[in-house]
Structure 1
Amino acid sequence: MIEPGDIVIGTLPINLVAEVNRLGGTYQHLTMNLPAEARGKELTAADMERYCAQLEPFFAASQDYARAEVLVGEWDNFNGEYGPERDYAVRSTINTEGVILKLLGENTDTRNMHIERIPGAWRINISMDPEETTMQVSLRDDGQILYE
């Protein structure tokens, strides 16, 4: 029953935090410096203050699969937008150089995007063929965009 913009506060397991985030909610985790002897016991407000209770925002997502609203197609100058908007799956794989995002959808060619941090910029490699880069874009920290 989570809706975009909802705030969930608690001590949820990671898979439920990911579900809250997937549905558009934000998650605030109740953290405390709780000693072993205080675990599993009812705590008073004074106990929570003594153990430095605080709310911290956390974000979680499955590394392998996420649903996303993705705009596909060419830019429509008349309407000033990409289109049409459809529900697609985005599969991600994390490696030591960055992350690879694969867009999966009905009647859509599979696209891979490899995003990595390089000195002074974020580089995005886009490919239609996993063996070959079709386009490379660098978003530099100084605001310049380089198409390679």
Structure 2
Amino acid sequence: MTEEQKLIEKLQRIESLFAGATTTGEKVAAANALERIREKLTDVQKLDPPVEYKFTLTDMWSKKLFLALLRRYGIEPYRYYRQKYTTVMARVPISFVNETLWPEFQELDETLRSYLEEVTNRVITTSIYADSSDAEVRQGRLKGTEFKE
């Protein structure tokens, strides 16, 4: 099994956890997990109407993951003109964000980040240079030329 396949399986297990799957038998019913969460969202919207949320994500990987989660639940993501590219707006019930969407995103995001960091370190140490430790920290600061990406 490849690293990518392991990651996909882990992400699917996390999704099953948030959808309520607890036993091996429920893995068969995991295909219905998305529908259960969508039904939960519909029920929540009756008591807790959607409000506009502004989600500020730190990088494009997190944004892509978050957009996929929103769309999977039938929530339309958008952003306003001149908002940063990593900003995502959505109309979502507060309780759904707090109880389902954000906790699931955080767990999936941590798993994805861990995988990306592992792959990045492996590629750098294998193809560029074996020492991937951080830069030395020195006291004071000398005047010099600054380069920004």
TM-based fold match above 0.5: no
Larger radius of gyration: 1
More strand by share: 1
Q: TM-score, normalised by structure 1?
A: 0.21
More helix by share: 2
Q: TM-score, normalised by structure 2?
A: 0.21
Which protein, 1 or 2, shows the higher relative CO under an 8 Å CA cutoff with sep ≥ 6? 2
